[in-house]
Amino acid sequence: MLKNIFGKTLFERKMVILEWFAATLVVLFGTAMIFPGIRDSFGTVMGTMPDSMKGWMGTTDSWSTYNGYAGQELFHQMVILPSIAMILFGANFLAGEEGSTLLLTTLSKPLKRYNLYLQKYFALVVTLFAIMAGYFLGIILGGIALGESINYQAMLQSTLVATLLALVLGTLSFCLGAATGKKSIAGVVVGFYAFLSYFIASLSTAGDIVDKISYATVFRYFVPHDIMAGNFDVNNVFILLAIIIVPHFIALPIFAKRDLLTR
C-alpha cells in the first residue's frame, strides 16, 4: 500500500512532471544561449552600477564569463522557476486531494495518516529531482553549445543549493496544506513569502536594516554567484536542511489528528 501511494502519486502526475522537466530544460537552455549578446552589450555597464544594486543586477564579472552568468542569471534569477513549481505541487499533493475528497477515499483503506503524509512528501521530493535534472541539463547543454568553459563542480554545488531552496518552499506549501487542508491558503501564503523573500534578499546590500531582515528570507542562504566564484558555504546547506525538516514536526501531528475537510 505504501509503495502504491508513492508510485500512484507519481504515475498520476507523470505527464505534468515530464512537461515541467522539458519546459525547465528548454527555458534554461534558451536563457543560456543569449549569454554572448548580454556579455557584449551589458557586461561593461555593470561597472557603473551602485553597490546597493549589485546583489540584484550583478557585477562586471557576473556578465563577462559563462560561469559568472550562470551564477547571476541562470541560478540567481531563474531559480524562481522550480520554486514556483514546488509551491504549486506542494499545495496540491495533499491538500489538493483533500479538497476533492480523494483523500477520504484513500484513507478509507487500512492506511495510517502519517504513512500517507510521508509517501506524498517523498513523491514531492522525487518530482523536484526530475525538474532540477532538466534545470541542470539546460545550463550544461547551453554552455557546451556555446563552447564556453564550464565549472562543473560549482554548477553541481549551485544546483544542490537551488534544489534545497525550492524544496524549502515546496515543504512549506506541503506542510501548510497538510495542516489546514486548504491548497489555496498554502499556495498564496508561501507564494507571497517567496516573492517577498526574493525581493528583500536581492536588496540586502541596500542598508543595514534590509540586511538584517533578509536573514528571515530563504533566498538569503542561496548565493549562487559566490558559489560559482568558488565560495561554497556549507553552512547555508545546513540552514536550508533545517528549514526543510522543522515544519514537519508541526504539520504532521496536526494532519494526523485533525478532521478532514468534506464538501
The pLDDT tens digits of the residues spanning 66-75 come to 999 999 899 9
Residue 101 C-alpha cell reads as: 475528497
pLDDT digits (tens, 9 = 90+) for 42-63: 655 555 555 555 555 555 566 7
- Is position 180 within any domain? yes
- Check residue 149 and give its pLDDT: 93
Q: DSSP for 95-145?
A: IIHHHTTHHHHHHTSS--HHHHHHHHHHHHHHHHHHHHHHHHHHHHHHHHH
- Is position 54 within any domain? no
- Check residue 206 and give its pLDDT: 61
Confidence of residue 23 (pLDDT cuts 50, 70, 90): very high
pTM: 0.88
The larger pLDDT score, comparing residue 189 to residue 47, is at 189
Average pLDDT (238-242) is 97
- Check residue 138 and give its pLDDT: 97
Provide the number of structural domains found in the chain. Answer: 1
CA distance 19 to 241: 27
- Is position 148 within any domain? yes
pLDDT digits (tens, 9 = 90+) for 94-141: 888 877 767 766 766 767 888 899 999 999 999 999 999 999 999 999
Sequence-separated (6 or more) residues with CB below 8 Å from residue 151: 67, 228
- Is position 40 within any domain? no
Residue 216 C-alpha cell reads as: 528571515
Residue 1 pLDDT > 50: no
- Check residue 134 and give its pLDDT: 97
- Check residue 123 and give its pLDDT: 96
Q: Which domain holds residue 153?
A: 2-33+77-257
- Check residue 189 and give its pLDDT: 96
- Is position 56 within any domain? no
Least confident range from 193-197, 216-220, 256-260: namely 256-260
Residue 49 C-alpha cell reads as: 552600477
Give the whole-number percent of the chain exceeding pLDDT 90: 61
Confidence of residue 2 (pLDDT cuts 50, 70, 90): very low
- Is position 19 within any domain? yes
CA dist 38 to 32, 65, 69, 86, 176, Å?
10, 10, 9, 29, 40
Average pLDDT (187-212) is 84
Q: Does residue 162 sit in helix, strand or coil?
A: helix
Residue 202 C-alpha cell reads as: 536581492
CA distance 94 to 111: 15
- Check residue 215 and give its pLDDT: 84
Residue 7 C-alpha cell reads as: 508510485
Average pLDDT (141-146) is 96
Residue-averaged pLDDT of the chain: 87
The larger pLDDT score, comparing residue 163 to residue 77, is at 163
- Is position 68 within any domain? no
